[in-house]
Structures are given as structure tokens and as C-alpha cells.
């Protein structure tokens, strides 16, 4: 007889494939196919932060392993940068309920950045990424899967335009510059955040919101973040036009270089005047 945790996991898996097929499962598999994210014999390290996005990613990867046509393996890994004990317990509890075989590994990132006054979040993010790549290499994985979703991509595009003065997106996959043979993939790129929230709300699940011990007690600091500003902007744009976010997302697939003043490619700068006279 199945226990409560097994029953809950089975319900999640069934609803993922059936009830939320259109909003989540089909978009997940379409991203995997469209961007060739997973190939035969891949060994993927699925990174679980403890939040709603990474846990959905883990369940999608699990279901693809069971029902997909591609033979690959996966390791479900949680990096502990210095979480409180109750946060770690929350992550383990959710993993048990969802039947996700997670493994923790500890770092001292929070302790290291605790004394940094200038850009501690930037340093923390860089250190996290480095530790994840190193762990994936240690486990013999050739890919790292992260839970960035559709809204993350749209917000990144806007942030780069409005604050960076550049056209730049969050790619669905990219090669590591420092770890040869390693790729980072983002299989949730087509899935909207509101659909992820709806999925977990329907199942009554609660997740770690922010495990950072420097910001979790400071809502004002989170509120003024650039990422929060972009979320609010996207929300406003959707009210003006429900397709606005889709148009921003697909604009990165429809760049007309003949109408661009300048662009960079492989470290080289190109200007429209370089070939202007040849276009007559």
C-alpha cells in the first residue's frame, strides 16, 4: 500500500501529464526538443534551490526519464550555501513528499560574502555557479539544469535593454567557459511563472521563498531590486496587451540585422556603415 508521500507524488505526476499538460508539460517537452537540451546518454545535474521553479524542474526531468524516448540519467542536487536548519528541513520535506532523491552538498558562501559591502549578491551568484559546475564535474555530469522560466527570460531582456543599454537574452543553453564539456540548460524557458504558481497552489505546496540570510528579513531591499522592477513592468505590460510578453520573448528570435545600427559577434564589433555602400 502506498504511503501519503507516495500518493502525493503520484498525484503530482499524473496532474503534470494530464491536468497541466498544455500549460506545463507540453511547453517543457517543446523546449527540450526545440533547443536540443537533452541527448542520449546525458548525465544531468538538476539544481534544486528549494523554490517552486527548481522543484517543478525536478519533477519534469523525472517524468521525462520515465516516459520520454531519450535515455539519460539525472542527479538531483541541493547546494547549501549556509541555509538555516529550518530551511534545509523544508527542502528535505518537499523532496520526500515529491519522491525526489536529492543529495545536499555544503559550501561556506554565506560566510564568505557576509563581510562584503560592495555587490555581495553578485559575488554570491558567481560563487554559487562555480560550486555548481565543480559539483557537476565531480558527479560525472555533462549538463547542469536550472529552473529559469519564461518570465525570467522576458525580465532579463528588459533589464539588459533598460539598465544595460544592450540587446541580450537568457539563452536556453550555453557552454561553460571554465569547465570543458559542460553545458547549462534551462528546460522551463517556455513555461510562465503564473502557471508554475497555479500548479503548486492546486497541490497545496509551500516552498522556500528566499533562503538568503541577508535579505530574507529585509522586504524593502527585495522590493527595490531591479528584478522586482522588471516583474512589475511585465505585469503592467500584460495589462496593456496580453501578448506583450510573448512579443518580447520572440523578438530575440526575429532580429533583423539589416536594420541594426551595430552589434557584437564573437568579440568583434560590427557597424552598419561597414557594408552600407555595398547595399546599393
For residue 98, give the C-alpha cell. 515529491
Instruction: Give me the mean pLDDT over the 98-104 stretch.
Output: 95
Q: Are strands 268-271 and 262-265 parallel, antiparallel or unpaired?
A: antiparallel
| Residue 1 clears pLDDT 90, i.e. is over it | no
The full length of the chain comes to 280
Rounded Cα distance, 98 and 115, in Å: 37
pLDDT band at residue 220 under the 50/70/90 scheme: very low
For residue 225, give the C-alpha cell. 531590486
In the chain, pLDDT over 70 holds for what percent of residues?
88
Mind listing the pLDDT tens digit for each residue in 160-189? 999 999 999 999 999 999 899 999 999 999
Mind listing the pLDDT tens digit for each residue in 181-213? 999 999 999 999 999 999 999 999 999 776 565
Q: What does pLDDT average to over the chain?
A: 89
pLDDT at 119 (0 to 100): 59
pTM recorded for the entire structure? 0.90
Which residue's entry shows cell 533547443? 35
| Residue 100 clears pLDDT 80, i.e. is over it | yes
Lowest mean pLDDT among 68-77, 201-210, 214-223, 236-245: 214-223
User: Residue 70 — φ and ψ, nearest 5°?
Assistant: -105, 130
Shortest CA distance to 190 belongs to which of 57, 70, 63, 46?
57
Shortest CA distance to 27 belongs to which of 54, 69, 60?
60
Cα dihedral: 156, 158, 159, 165 (round 10): 120
Amino acid at each position: 500500500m502506498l504511503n501519503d508521500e507516495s500518493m502525493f507524488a503520484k498525484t503530482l505526476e499524473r496532474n503534470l501529464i494530464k491536468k497541466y499538460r498544455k500549460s506545463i508539460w507540453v511547453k517543457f517537452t517543446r523546449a527540450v526538443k526545440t533547443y536540443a537540451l537533452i541527448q542520449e546518454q546525458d548525465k544531468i545535474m538538476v539544481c534544486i534551490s528549494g523554490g517552486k521553479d527548481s522543484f517543478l524542474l525536478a519533477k519534469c526531468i523525472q517524468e521525462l526519464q520515465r516516459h520520454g524516448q531519450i535515455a539519460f540519467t539525472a542527479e538531483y542536487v541541493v547546494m547549501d550555501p549556509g541555509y538555516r536548519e529550518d530551511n534545509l528541513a523544508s527542502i528535505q520535506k518537499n523532496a520526500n513528499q515529491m519522491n525526489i532523491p536529492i543529495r545536499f552538498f555544503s559550501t561556506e558562501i554565506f560566510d564568505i560574502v557576509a563581510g562584503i559591502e560592495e555587490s555581495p549578491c553578485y559575488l554570491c551568484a558567481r560563487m554559487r555557479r562555480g560550486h555548481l559546475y565543480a559539483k557537476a564535474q565531480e558527479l560525472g555530469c555533462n549538463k547542469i539544469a536550472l529552473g529559469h522560466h519564461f518570465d525570467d527570460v522576458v525580465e532579463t531582456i528588459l533589464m539588459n535593454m533598460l539598465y544595460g543599454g544592450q540587446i541580450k537574452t537568457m539563452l536556453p543553453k550555453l557552454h561553460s567557459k571554465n569547465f570543458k564539456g559542460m553545458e547549462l540548460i534551462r528546460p522551463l524557458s517556455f513555461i510562465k511563472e503564473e502557471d508554475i504558481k497555479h500548479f503548486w497552489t492546486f497541490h497545496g505546496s509551500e516552498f522556500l521563498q528566499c533562503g538568503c540570510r541577508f535579505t530574507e528579513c529585509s522586504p524593502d531591499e527585495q522590493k527595490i531590486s531591479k528584478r522586482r522592477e522588471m516583474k512589475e513592468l511585465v505585469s503592467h505590460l500584460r495589462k496593456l496587451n496580453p501578448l506583450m510578453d510573448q512579443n518580447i520573448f520572440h523578438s530575440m528570435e526575429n532580429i533583423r540585422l539589416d536594420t541594426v545600427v551595430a552589434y557584437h559577434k564573437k568579440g568583434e564589433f560590427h557597424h552598419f556603415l561597414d557594408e552600407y555602400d555595398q547595399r546599393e
